[in-house]
A and B are shown apart, each in its own frame.
Chain A
């Protein structure tokens, strides 16, 4: 079981703004950087946001990340059909001495 909690699903219509939450604790999100990955079926995860809000080269600025206390959020604005994928948060956990991943959120574009 993951100690980074994400909603299992989220949805929106094209053009909308959607947010996906990631809730943790003091030993992970509360004291370490949060990262987000995007995964399409049958493919490997792809780094989407790193260090709370940074975007790797090539990631559209429609994707943004934020962190407050022991929670983090991924926001997608101007939702497009190609954004339909699974999204995972991740952070180092000082008590478990390892990287933790959230359970993932399946985003549906209606």
Chain B
């Protein structure tokens, strides 16, 4: 069964780095036909795409301009997982964070989602 299992702290202090992991079961992080994404959702910001990593003979990553200076998504082939690192967090980064798969090869849609991790930024 293909699934994405998320883990990480639910509480992060302001100015610190938010780190989450997403273990992939039933597919490969190194698949040549998939891209692995992080998306977050909050009442104030709605759904927001945070970026992706994917393998096409070498590793690539893409990030939206809105968070590019603060976000990094890393693949870990030994554990078949991806991780999200969001630096210098503020209370505005409080959200439910999802990892998601995109197998559309340029269509930019997400057919498999993790269950989500609520992360609160507070001192």
Contact = CB atoms under 8 A, between A and B. Distances in A.
B116 A50 contact: no
Nearest to A103: B46
A110 interface: no
A2 B41 CA distance: 12
Contacts, number: 63
A27 to B, nearest CB: 13
Assign chain A's interface to a size class: 20 to 34
Nearest to A47: B111
A46 B47 CA distance: 13
A63 interface: no
B59 interface: no
Contacts of B48: 101
Interface string A69-98: 000000000000000000010111000111
A7 interface: no
B8 interface: no
Interface string B108-121: 11110111100000
Interface of B: 39, 46-49, 62-66, 98, 100, 104, 107-111, 113-116
